[in-house]
Amino acid sequence: AQKVTQAQTEISVVEKEDVTLDCVYETRDTTYYLFWYKQPPSGELVFLIRRNSFDEQNEISGRYSWNFQKSTSSFNFTITASQVVDSAVYFCALAAGNNRKLIWGLGTSLAVNP
Amino acid sequence: EAGVTQFPSHSVIEKGQTVTLRCDPISGHDNLYWYRRVMGKEIKFLLHFVKESKQDESGMPNNRFLAERTGGTYSTLKVQPAELEDSGVYFCASSRRDRGNEQFFGPGTRLTVL
């Protein structure tokens, strides 16, 4: 079975704090892709990153960084020095094997307070 | 380049009525996907078109849902007759033929069935 678990339903931080959003996935396929999407209050889903199962290098993009660990089946997302504009729902998703369809976590609602 | 667009943004109908949702993908994207998020649950895959052909419709809930993509451009998703449990946000996404996993999403259509 394929599954994505985002155990944190809601997180609230104060601006400039660092925050990590957890994502744990399950799949029996050896080839798969992991994704993070951001859903701001306006509702659209904004693509943030895609990582394939053969590339365990961590990625940094500005204040965003991603930590992919196959040993723990995790693909965590860290926002450094959070800002109010980071407030959104963040989704982790999985596409495994030859499947193009995305399997989604429930999302983590992040509130960054001034 | 215009993003994925969806129409309408909101729709409120009564049980038993028919509703048609429309999605216009990014120009040149062969892949088109429909997803749905019911309140409190994860986003779920409905179906996948490659051009005008249905590649995977394993997520369609029942035969009250009909998706089409005539000419391989825009797609429609018709719900007939609508039931209360059909309420939710319907997302459309598209991707290039050679980067099928990198899906770009529209803003969604919020459907409320009363």
Contact B6, B23 (CB under 8 A): yes
- Mean pLDDT, range A71-98, rounded to an integer: 95
Q: Cα separation of B85 and B27, whole Å?
A: 33
- Mean pLDDT, range A13-35, rounded to an integer: 96
Contacts of B53 (CB under 8 A, 6+ apart): none
Report yes or no: A99 at the B interface, CB cutoff 8 Å: yes
Question: Above pLDDT 70, what percent of chain B?
Answer: 98
- Nearest-CA distance A103 → chain B (Å): 7
Nearest partner of B109 among B13, B33, B5, B29, judged by Cα: B5
- Nearest-CA distance B20 → chain A (Å): 20
Report yes or no: A49 at the B interface, CB cutoff 8 Å: no
Residue-wise pLDDT for B26-39, tens only, equals 999 999 999 999 98
Chains A–B, number of C-beta pairs less than 8 Å apart: 57
pLDDT number for residue A36: 96
Q: Is the pLDDT of residue B40 over 90?
A: no
CB atoms within 10 A of CB A71: 6
Using a CB-CB cut-off of 8 Å, the residues of chain A touching B32 are none
Locus of tokens 């961590």: A58
Q: Is the pLDDT of residue B53 over 70?
A: yes
